[in-house]
Structure 1
C-alpha cells in the first residue's frame, strides 16, 4: 500500500510539537539500545568459568550465535510489524513493541542455558525489527520535511544512550540484577504511550474521522482556542481529502512497479546503504566492545574503554542532530563513511604491529582513540541517515514495500556481520577483521559519490526521481 503524506508546503505539525510527540518513542528505543548492548559486558562473563548458566561456559561458536541470532528475530519483527502497521495503525503497532522487549529481559533473568539466551535475543531482535519499520512511518506521519532528519537523529540518540546505559550498568551490576532494573523501562513506555493517540493518517484510513480530527489537533498542539480551531479545521479538511483520495486511488502493486529505472535505482541505493551500515563493522564492534578492546591491547580496561566509546557515540549523534538538516544527507554520508574507514585503518595498523612484536611502546592509547573516532564519525551520518533517506528516494507507490525490503536486507547483513566477527577475531585477528570493514567503507565512499542523490528537504509526496 502506498505511503501517503501531507501535501508539500502543508505541514501537519510544527517542529516543537513533532519533537515533543516523539519523546515517548525514545523510551522503548532506550530499552532496545540496552538490549543491543547487553552482549558486550556479559558475553565475556558467559564464556568464563564463572558463567551463570547451568550449562557452563559459552563457546566461541555459541557466543557468535548469541550476538547474531538477534537479526533473525529482526527479520520476523520487520515482517510482523510491517503487517501490523497496515492492519491496526502505526501507534498501536509501536505500543506492541513492549511485548518482545519485555520478553527479552524476562527470558534473560530466568535463563539457565545458552538456548534460553538464543530465545531472548530473538525477542530483542523482534523489537528492533519492529522499531526500524514503525518509527520512520510514525515520524513521516507527524513531522515536517524540515525536521525529519533531526527527529531521526533524536531517535538514534536514544538507542545509543541505551547502549551506553548497558555498558555502565553491566560494569557495575550483576548478571541477574540488570534485567530486573532495565525491565522498568518498557513498563514506563507502556504507561506513557497509553496517553498518545493514533496518527491522524491511520485513523483517516480506518474511516475514524472524528478521532482523526482530535489526533490532528493533538499532534499540532492545538488548544481549544476558537481562532486556532478554525485554522486547523481547514488544514484537517485538506489532509482528509488527500488521504481519502489516495486510498481510493491506491492500486495493487505489480512487478512492473519495481522495474522502472527510478524504482530499481532507489531499491539498489536502499539495500546498499543497509549493507554499508552493517559491513562498516561499527555495529558489530559495539556489540562485542569488551571483547574487541581485550583483543586490541588498550591501555584502559575493556569495560572502561567500552563506556568511553559509548559516550563518544552520544557526541556523534548530537552532532548528527545539528548537522543533518543543515549540511545535507549526502555530504554527511561521505564524511562519515570515509572517516569510519580511516579510523578502522588506524586500529588495524596498530593491531598488526602489535602482533609483529613491533616497538609500539607509548602508543597504547591508539585503540581507544581510533575506535572512539570511528564511532564518532559513524554516528554523525552512517548510523542514522540510511533509515530516513529511504522514504525520500523510494517512489510513493512502492515506498512501504521498498522500506520492508531494505529493512529485511539490513537484518540479513547484521546477522552475517555479528556472526562472523567473533570467528574473525579468532582466525585472522583484529587487524584482519577491521581491514575487511575499512575496505567496505572506502568502496562505499565511491558509490555514495557516484550514485546517491541529495534528498535534503525533499517532498515525500512525489519522490519519483532519484
Structure 2
C-alpha cells in the first residue's frame, strides 16, 4: 500500500464533510450548509465536540450497568423471580458483551469506527424495549443479552476512536471522558430508579443511543483507520477537520503514513504472529489491566450496591446508591483533569493502593460485625466504616483503574493488530465482568467479609502488575508508543 505525500493541487480541504463514512465536496452554492453541518473549526473544540457525541455510547454502557441495582426488588416482586434468576439477569449483559467484544474489533476494522457504533446502537434500543414490555423472564433475558451485545462493541470502539482522533497532549483527558460517561450513566440509572418504575426506567434507557445515531452523521471518521484502508485523501481531510483548517498537519500526516505503510488494508495478523514481543507485550499489558479492572469486584459492588448497603445496616439504600454514583462521577472527573498532568502509571499506582486500603477496611468491618450484637454502638460504627470503605473503594477505582486500562489498551496496541488484539482484550474484560457479576450476590450471601477480602487480594496483585509491567504513555504519540515495543 502506498501513499501520496501531498494532496492534489487545488484541493480545498476547507470543504470536507463526512457523511456515513464518505466525504463529500461541497461547492460554493452549498456554502450555507457548511456552517451548520461541519465540525467546529477550532482544533480542540472540534475534537471535544466529537468526543461528547460518542460519549453517549458509554452513557448507555453505564445505564446498563446501573439498571439492576435500583430495580432488583421491584422486578423480583413483579415477575416472581428468585435471587439466582435475577443474578443471571444481571450477568447476562456481560454474556452479550462477550459476544459483542468478539465481533467488535473486526466490525470496527471493516466498516470503520462510526459504522461500528451505529451497529451497536440498534440492539441496545431493541434490548431496552424488550425489558420494558417483559411479562416473563425470557423477555428480560433476551433484552439484557441484546443490550450487552451493543455495549460490548461500544466498550471497544469508543476508546479506540477517541485515542485515534485526539491530539497527543489531550489524549489522556479526552480518553477519560469514556469512563466519566460510564459513571454518569450509572448515576442516572441510580437516580432515576428512585422516582420511576422499572419499566419506565427501561424506556429511558433507549434515549442515549436514540440520540447517538443521528449524531454520528456529523462526525469525521478516524483518520488512522482511513489511512490504514488506503483512503489517503479522506484521511488527510478528516485530520484537517479535527485539527483545524489553519493548522499545519504535515508532520502528523507523515507519522501516520509511516506507521501504516507496512500494513495491509485488512487485518492479516495471525495468532502465531502474536508471539513477537512487539505484539505479545502490549497485548499482555492490555489484557492484564482490563482483567484486573473487573476482578477487583467493582461491578459486583455497583450492580448490587443496594444489597451491600442493606447488609451494612443502611436503611435508605437507594439514596446511598445515588451518593455512591455521585462520588464515582466526581472522582472520574478529577481523573480526567489529572490524566495528562500526573500520567497514567502514577494514577494506576495510587488507584490500586487506595483500593487495597479501602477493601481492607470493608472486609475487617464485615468480619467484626459477626462478633458484635445488633443495635450496639460498636455495630453502628462498623456499619459506617463498611459504607465509608465501599465509597472509598469506588472513588479510588474511578481515580485510575476505571478509565486508564481502556486508554492504555487503545494507545499501545499496534494498528496492524488492533482489530484482533482489541477483540481479545475486550473479550477478556467482559468475561471477568461476567464472572464477578454472576458470583457477587452468591459470595455476599456466603460471607461479606470474605468477598471483600478476595477483591482486596486482586487489587494488591494489580499494584504489583502496574509497578513492574505497565509503561507510561503520557505525552507520546500513538506511533511513538507502538514503535517502542519493537
TM-score above 0.5, yes or no: yes
1-structure distance, mates of 2:278, 2:260:
26
Shift in CA distance, 182/253, structure 1 to aligned 2, threshold 3 Å: closer
1:143 aligns with 2:161: no
CA RMSD of aligned residues (A): 2.6
1:253 aligns with 2:272: no
2:422 to 403, 412, 416: 403
2:323 aligns with 308
- Aligned residue in 2 for 1:290: 306
The aligned residue for residue 479 of structure 2 is 461
| Structure 1 partner of 2:185 | 162
Aligned partner of residue 52 in structure 2, secondary structure? coil
2:78 matched to 1:52?
Answer: yes
Determine whether 1:390 maps to 2:419.
no
Residues 21-68 of structure 1, C-alpha deviations (whole Å, 9 max, x = no match):
111011232122112110001112223xxx222xx2x21221221121
| Correspondence 1:435 to 2:435 | no
Q: Is the 8 A contact 2:163 2:175 kept in 1?
A: no
* TM score, norm. by length of structure 1: 0.87
Asked if structure 1 preserves the Cα contact closer than 8 Å seen for 2:255 and 2:479, the reply is no
1:327 lines up with 2:350 in the alignment: no
Deviations 1:335-377 (A, max 9, x none): 1011112111111111112122255144132233221111110
Matches of 1:380 and 1:454 in 2, distance apart? Answer: 16
Q: What is the aligned partner in structure 1 of residue 64 from structure 2?
A: 35
- Counterpart position of 1:71: 94
Partner in structure 2 of residue 26 of structure 1 = 55
Please state whether the residue corresponding to 1:453 is helix, strand or coil: coil
5+ residue gaps in structure 1? 2-11, 223-227
Partner deviation per Cα, 1:221-251 (whole Å, 9 max, x = no partner): 42xxxxx38x46x568647855773445988
The 1:133–1:354 alpha-carbon spacing in structure 2 relative to 1, beyond 3 Å, is: same
What does 1:223-372 correspond to in 2, within 5 Å? 228=246, 231=248, 234=250, 238=254, 241-242=257-258, 245-247=261-263, 252-298=268-314, 300-357=315-372, 360-363=378-381, 364-372=383-391
The equivalent of 1:380 in structure 2 is: 399
Aligned residue pairs total: 441
Partner Cα separation in structure 2 for residue 176 and residue 118 of structure 1: 14
Equivalent position of 1:110 in the other structure: 133
Task: Indicate the larger mover: 201-210 or 300-309.
Answer: 201-210
Looking at structure 2, the residues matched to 402 and 206 of structure 1 have their Cα atoms a distance apart, in angstroms, of 18
Alignment correspondent of 1:184: 207
Whole-Å Cα distance in 2 between the matches of residues 250 and 70 of structure 1? 30
> Which residue matches 1:449?
467
Q: How far apart in 1 are the matches of 2:363 and 2:395?
A: 17
CA drift at 1:163: 0.4
How many Å apart are 1:289 and its aligned residue?
1.1
Cα separation, partners in 2 of 1:244 and 1:152, compared to 1, 3 Å: closer
Q: 1:78·1:404 contact (CA, 8 Å) conserved in 2?
A: yes
Q: Would the aligned equivalents of 2:105 and 2:418 in 1 still touch at CA under 8 Å?
A: no
- Alpha carbons of 1:33 and 1:141: their partners in 2 closer, same or farther (altered >3 Å)? same
- Deviation of 1:379 after TM superposition, in Å, equals 0.3
Give the Cα–Cα distance (whole angstroms) in 1 for the partners of residues 197 and 303 of structure 2.
Answer: 19
Deviation at 1:94, TM superposition (A): 1.4
Matched-pair contact (CA < 8 Å) for 1:205–1:243? no
